[in-house]
Amino acid sequence: GLSAIDNVAFALEVAGVPSKEAEKRAIHALERVGLGDRMEHVPEQLSGGQQQRVAIARAIAGERRLLLADEPTGNLDIASAAEVLALFKSLCADESKSMSILMVTHDPDLASKADRMLLLRDGQTVASDIRSAWGLDEEGEEE
């Protein structure tokens, strides 16, 4: 398999970024996700959480302001999932390169940590805040 840096740089090169610039952006993205010391590692040498961070680095290296994340913690253990969530929070808070993250999840705990949330049922928005999504009234009691 490709090393982490080759994985991230390759995606940029496919998108038309010159090789030297792709490598520079790949290094920066991997450092941003906390993998500066794992750039030469191949997937078999990385934990599930680290592999997910390589995927996130690949996404942010393109320097877009929106990251789409479909079940980003679905196959991760609790610690790795918390790591990914903390990374998302730091990416959103980074004022020098702020971004928005649109995340799809079936995990209510993960959804409750979002700044904003929409609950969809059969393609329709049925709630736009966490309290009503869980069916809670103002005092926290179930309706």
**Which pLDDT band holds residue 137 (cuts at 50, 70, 90)?**
low
61 and 121 assigned to the same domain: no
What value, to the nearest 5°, has the Cα angle with vertex 19 and ends 18 and 21?
A: 70
Whether pLDDT at 24 is above 70: yes
Residue 93 and residue 75 share a domain: yes
Tell me, yes or no, whether 31 and 84 share the same domain. Answer: yes
Which tens digit of pLDDT belongs to each residue from 66-112?
999 999 888 888 888 888 888 888 888 888 877 899 999 888 888 88
Please tell me whether residues 62 and 116 are part of one structural domain.
no
Q: Assess whether pLDDT exceeds 80 at residue 135.
A: no
Same domain, 27 and 72: yes
Rounded Cα distance between 107 and 12, Å, is: 31
pTM of the model: 0.77
Same domain, 123 and 101: no
Q: In which element (H, E) is residue 38 found?
A: none
Q: Indicate the range of 16-20, 77-81, 97-101, 139-143 predicted with least confidence.
A: 139-143
Please give the tally of structural domains in the chain. 2
pLDDT tier, 133 (very low <50, low <70, confident <90, very high otherwise): low
Q: Are residues 98 and 130 in the same domain?
A: no
Q: Kindly state whether residues 45 and 69 are assigned to the same domain.
A: yes
How many whole angstroms separate alpha carbon 63 and alpha carbon 70?
19
Print the domain residue range for 93. Answer: 4-111
Exposure string over 10-33, b if 16+ CB within 10 A, otherwise e:
ebbeeeebeeeebbebbbbbbebb
Residues 142 and 129 in one domain: yes
